[in-house]
Amino acid sequence: MLVLTRKVGEGIVVGDDVTLTILENKDGKVRVGIAAPQEKKIYRQEVYERICRENKEASQWDLEKLDVLNTVLPKGRRP
pLDDT of residue 35: 98
Q: Pick from 49, 42, 43: which is nearest to 17 by CA?
A: 42
- Within 10 Å of residue 10's Cβ, how many Cβ atoms? 11
Interval 2-53: pLDDT, tens: 999 999 999 999 999 999 999 999 999 999 999 999 999 999 999 999 999 9
Helix (H) or strand (E) holding 48: helix 45-58
Percentages helix, strand, coil for the chain (3-state, rounded to 5) are 35, 25, 40
Kind of pairing, strands 29-35 and 18-26? antiparallel
Structural contact between residues 23 and 8, judged by C-beta atoms closer than 8 angstroms: yes
| pTM, entire model | 0.68
Domain boundaries, the chain: 11-73
